[in-house]
A and B are shown apart, each in its own frame.
Chain A
């Protein structure tokens, strides 16, 4: 279900913790699984639990607790807009509204072409440059409707490097 590389990475994470503390490796193992497969479907969560020798429910508890785990398929680009205090005061609602209008989807939804998923998330710790969002493993800060339009055009054009 997972590639050799992911299995190796999970085994490495597991080796960081004592014999009886397999649970400690769960967060990392689920992240590795999600990175490879895009999202965590039930069988994948069960599989990760099995690799670590844990009851499946413990993996489900963790996977459903953290919002950064995706339990449903997500688009090629996941736009995670911060909606916490600093960003909210600096107009995150308008940012989300603009994205919704441009992409034609609400928060938590994915565009029909499978390119974009829009999510509202909690504080990502970049308050000084609010409003901000995370895309892939990068932060995009001081967002304006214009900067968003440019970014989306770039992404639609197939560009991976959008800095």
Chain B
């Protein structure tokens, strides 16, 4: 191992270590711009030049591996001269607009200039000006400030899967851009803002909102998927102004996705509720005091209980709720005698409930995912569903691993993935075929791709099978799960779950499923699962943090049932949808306004604190539930502090393992709901920025609503033009249409999560299409 000396300090480091890394381990600071530990080394900013004994010229610390006996000086006259020279050149073309630059105050160029520059410049000529690029609604570009470190380009190529960004031109004319004007479309694009060492790339929604030093930092946990990224919520007064990643190598490293970064912009949506709302007998909504609202709530609930019994009351809670809220919610419902508690709005087939694990666990750490040689994704499009878990899969591929995806359509991954796509509605058959092929893996002649996959899985040592959330959306989910278990057994592989929501794991652990109590204890009597509540003549509903119309597979049916019910209480952040059916709307703390804890996909329990004060009369969810329980005279609702609820949750849930059996024994499944054959099928899923009430309202993230169809299918269905009218049993709608070869024949893909499409039948149900007139421009604006 090379033995070296930096600034008089001795250190022995592994061969291949760079001077930069060695200095870092000694705590010696070397200034740099282009170097970044997570990116490849470019060595093009030259800021990290250091003086190496016997080397004729200063050497870049980031790109120079140490050699035995090297003596390095980071602050000798030679090193300082070099650093000053580099800075003087970098500043030649950098504008002096720090007072109006959003990067000011958190700018490496500013800091390093203060620390290392010669205060006098020799340059008196004109500075260059670079044209700004429009790269979308999330990132503002101010390219004159760019120092061509190429961090953003390398991030795009190596991590974000952005293939449009590059450095064109040469020397003084070099500029970062897309050459042909293009929006940068990547779910990780916001990280380029954090990487940019100057103010060339800054956050568009945050622009001119505040100076960095005025902001209050609060540690948060991202509520938008099951990865559980650690965030730094930055606020000024009562307003959340931006969300940045917080370093946690074990979870999100130093990244977050754009969903987590920009969803906060939905907090001030026009339909945000900040005052309890009550509907009077004429259907008019009025803002009332908490006392009035609670009185109406209690009266409504008591009426339902007295007239129809607790069996006609159902409680549905969002999987984004904290453990504490989930725990109190099920206690409230069960305390009132109702067994119908659930959080799984996005599931329609519950036949395999008995086989479900304690909670949907990845059964390994996120870091371990990077070292998996073979990963089979079962209906899991991680790029949009869990972007930072997807990044671990990307790294697995970079480490020589292989990722295979089995899905109902071809997905747009940002790294090489072998994709097996089912024919329209034939998902189950595809899994069955794969399972069947394990008997033929030794027959050399078989060249079928599925046989090849079976062969690879059988040959691999313990391949990893990941169950994606879209598998549970399928009407034959139970049979698919059973096939996945069979395949895992045949392949000698392990199974991990990709949980759908930020606290799906917590919801299972906290007993927000109809068949299990907190801690996963089986209940003697099981209530109805979420999907069944819509058909069961329920008369009372308590909804917590959700919009069943947009958040469930059967939106139209859900809204209809809620309208017909006698009493609906919606404890919610937003009112647009709830106004259609609720009787009382209680305003609840939203993202960054409340405290609590989530259990992420690994089973890691992470807590977060409120960053800003509550708007208006909104109250933390757990307090609302506590007051309801207390007013309904239920026992065990005497909590004064959140910590008491957390303690009660911990006590009830007990210690759970991070590595758990992926399935319990399967029950006899009975016949599956058939998928209609010979007709056009509607496919669909929640697009990345439509998945929950908050992100749907984030304007900068909004994407136009577009149906997608294979060009051949469109021709066959006689569709020409840019619009299509889709009719299903429950409703019809006219949508813009994109032709897309990713969609299998016999299907039309229509996203869920938009109010406009919530009237349509669930995915895998028949539909018909007809030509429609061109939509007005406003509806097709992109």
Binding site for B on A (CB under 8 A): 42, 46, 55-58, 60-61, 64-67
B126-180 residues with Cβ-Cβ distance < 8 A to A are 163-170, 178-180
Which 10 residue pairs of A and B lie closest in terms of their CB atoms, listed nearest first? A57-B166, A55-B163, A64-B168, A60-B179, A65-B170, A61-B166, A64-B169, A60-B168, A61-B168, A57-B164
Cα-based distance from A87 to B169 in the complex (angstroms): 25
Chain A residues positioned under 8 Å from B166 (CB to CB): 55, 57-58, 60-61
Contact A64 B163 (CB under 8 A): no
Q: How far is the CB of B73 from chain A (nearest CB, A)?
A: 35
Tell me the nearest residue of chain B to A43, going by C-beta: B180
Complex partner residue of A57 from B169, B170, B179, CB under 8 angstroms: B179
Cα-based distance from A60 to B164 in the complex (angstroms): 10
Cα-based distance from A55 to B170 in the complex (angstroms): 19
Contact A56 B180 (CB under 8 A): yes
Chain B residues touching A, majority SS? loop
Chain B residues positioned under 8 Å from A55 (CB to CB): 163-164, 166
Q: How far is the CB of B156 from chain A (nearest CB, A)?
A: 9
A-B contacts, 30 listed (Cβ < 8 Å): A42-B179, A42-B180, A46-B180, A55-B163, A55-B164, A55-B166, A56-B164, A56-B179, A56-B180, A57-B163, A57-B164, A57-B165, A57-B166, A57-B178, A57-B179, A58-B166, A60-B166, A60-B168, A60-B179, A60-B180, A61-B166, A61-B168, A64-B168, A64-B169, A64-B170, A64-B179, A65-B168, A65-B170, A66-B170, A67-B170
Tell me the nearest residue of chain A to B170, going by C-beta: A65
Q: How far is the CB of B397 from chain A (nearest CB, A)?
A: 14
Cα-based distance from A42 to B168 in the complex (angstroms): 13
Q: Fill in one digit per residue for B169-195: 1 if any A CB lies within 8 Å of its CB, else 0.
A: 110000000111000000000000000
Chain A residues positioned under 8 Å from B167 (CB to CB): 61
Tell me the nearest residue of chain B to A67, going by C-beta: B170
Cα-based distance from A46 to B180 in the complex (angstroms): 10
Q: Fill in one digit per residue for B44-59: 1 if any A CB lies within 8 Å of its CB, else 0.
A: 0000000000000000
Q: How far is the CB of B180 from chain A (nearest CB, A)?
A: 6
Cα-based distance from A55 to B168 in the complex (angstroms): 14
Cα-based distance from A65 to B168 in the complex (angstroms): 7
Cα-based distance from A56 to B181 in the complex (angstroms): 12
Q: How far is the CB of A116 from chain B (nearest CB, A)?
A: 25
Binding site for A on B (CB under 8 A): 163-170, 178-180
Chain A residues positioned under 8 Å from B168 (CB to CB): 57, 60-61, 64-65
Chain B residues positioned under 8 Å from A67 (CB to CB): 170
Chain B residues positioned under 8 Å from A56 (CB to CB): 164, 179-180
Chain A residues positioned under 8 Å from B169 (CB to CB): 64-65
Cα-based distance from A66 to B167 in the complex (angstroms): 13
Q: How far is the CB of B490 from chain A (nearest CB, A)?
A: 33
Q: How far is the CB of B647 from chain A (nearest CB, A)?
A: 54
Chain B residues positioned under 8 Å from A64 (CB to CB): 168-170, 179
Cα-based distance from A82 to B157 in the complex (angstroms): 37
Chain A residues positioned under 8 Å from B165 (CB to CB): 57
Chain A residues positioned under 8 Å from B178 (CB to CB): 57
| 4 additional A-B residue pairs with CB within 8 Å, beyond A56-B164, A57-B163, A57-B165 | A55-B163, A65-B169, A65-B170, A66-B170
Interface centre among A58, A64, A66, A67 (most CB of B within 10 A): A64
Interface centre among A42, A46, A57, A67 (most CB of B within 10 A): A57
Q: How far is the CB of A152 from chain B (nearest CB, A)?
A: 30
Chain B residues positioned under 8 Å from A57 (CB to CB): 163-166, 168, 178-179
Q: How far is the CB of B182 from chain A (nearest CB, A)?
A: 9
Cα-based distance from A65 to B180 in the complex (angstroms): 16
Chain B residues positioned under 8 Å from A65 (CB to CB): 168-170
Tell me the nearest residue of chain B to A64, going by C-beta: B168
Tell me the nearest residue of chain B to A42, going by C-beta: B180
Cα-based distance from A17 to B164 in the complex (angstroms): 24
Cα-based distance from A12 to B165 in the complex (angstroms): 29
Chain A residues positioned under 8 Å from B164 (CB to CB): 55-57
Cα-based distance from A57 to B182 in the complex (angstroms): 11
Q: How far is the CB of B173 from chain A (nearest CB, A)?
A: 8
Chain A residues positioned under 8 Å from B179 (CB to CB): 42, 56-57, 60, 64
Chain A residues positioned under 8 Å from B170 (CB to CB): 64-67
Interface centre among A56, A58, A67 (most CB of B within 10 A): A56
Cα-based distance from A56 to B180 in the complex (angstroms): 9
Chain B residues positioned under 8 Å from A42 (CB to CB): 179-180
Q: How far is the CB of B152 from chain A (nearest CB, A)?
A: 12
Cα-based distance from A107 to B355 in the complex (angstroms): 77
Chain A residues positioned under 8 Å from B163 (CB to CB): 55, 57
Cα-based distance from A64 to B179 in the complex (angstroms): 10
Chain B residues positioned under 8 Å from A46 (CB to CB): 180
Cα-based distance from A56 to B182 in the complex (angstroms): 12
Tell me the nearest residue of chain A to B163, going by C-beta: A55
Tell me the nearest residue of chain A to B169, going by C-beta: A64
Q: How far is the CB of A92 from chain B (nearest CB, A)?
A: 20
Cα-based distance from A48 to B364 in the complex (angstroms): 44
Cα-based distance from A56 to B164 in the complex (angstroms): 7
Cα-based distance from A56 to B178 in the complex (angstroms): 9
Tell me the nearest residue of chain A to B178, going by C-beta: A57
Q: How far is the CB of B237 from chain A (nearest CB, A)?
A: 42
Tell me the nearest residue of chain A to B167, going by C-beta: A61
Tell me the nearest residue of chain A to B175, going by C-beta: A64
Cα-based distance from A67 to B165 in the complex (angstroms): 21
Cα-based distance from A22 to B159 in the complex (angstroms): 20
Cα-based distance from A11 to B169 in the complex (angstroms): 27
Chain B residues positioned under 8 Å from A61 (CB to CB): 166-168
Tell me the nearest residue of chain B to A63, going by C-beta: B168
Chain A residues positioned under 8 Å from B180 (CB to CB): 42, 46, 56, 60
Cα-based distance from A64 to B173 in the complex (angstroms): 10
Cα-based distance from A64 to B176 in the complex (angstroms): 12
